[in-house]
């Protein structure tokens, strides 16, 4: 997290996406072609609040987001998702 250079703009949230499940609960291994896109991640950077909007998400929060939300980024070999705060559905 500390090796990230740059900053996140207002109203945006940078999330480190959690890896997809490799096995089902019963022990069946899931091939890459059948894996679902992860919908959960940890917030690593937060931009400032937009005008007339409170920034409710903070660094370290675990969040749930929509399947097609955000922009996928790879920074230093780590996969991130850049979301608008409005794309965050739930904070765990």
Number of helices followed by number of strands (H, E) in the chain:
0, 6
CATH code: domain 12-91 is 2.30.33.40
Residue with tokens 């069946």: 28
Q: Are 90 and 17 in contact (CB under 8 A)?
A: no
Domain residue spans of the chain: 12-91
Q: Are 15 and 42 in contact (CB under 8 A)?
A: yes
Read off the tokens for 87: 């794309």
Q: Model pTM?
A: 0.79
C-alpha–C-alpha distance, residues 57 and 69, integer Å: 16
> Model confidence over 4-62: pLDDT tens digits?
778 889 999 999 988 766 666 777 776 666 556 668 999 999 999 988 889 999 999 99
């Amino acid at each position: 997290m500390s090796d990230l250079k740059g900053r996140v703009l207002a109203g945006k949230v940078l999330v480190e996406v959690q890896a997809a499940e490799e096995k089902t609960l019963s022990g069946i291994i899931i091939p890459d072609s059948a894996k679902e896109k992860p919908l959960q991640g940890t917030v690593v950077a937060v931009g400032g609040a937009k005008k007339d909007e409170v920034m409710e998400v903070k660094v370290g929060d675990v969040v749930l987001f929509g399947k097609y939300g955000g922009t996928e980024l790879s920074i230093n070999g780590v996969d991130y998702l850049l979301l608008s705060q409005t794309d965050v559905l739930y904070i765990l």
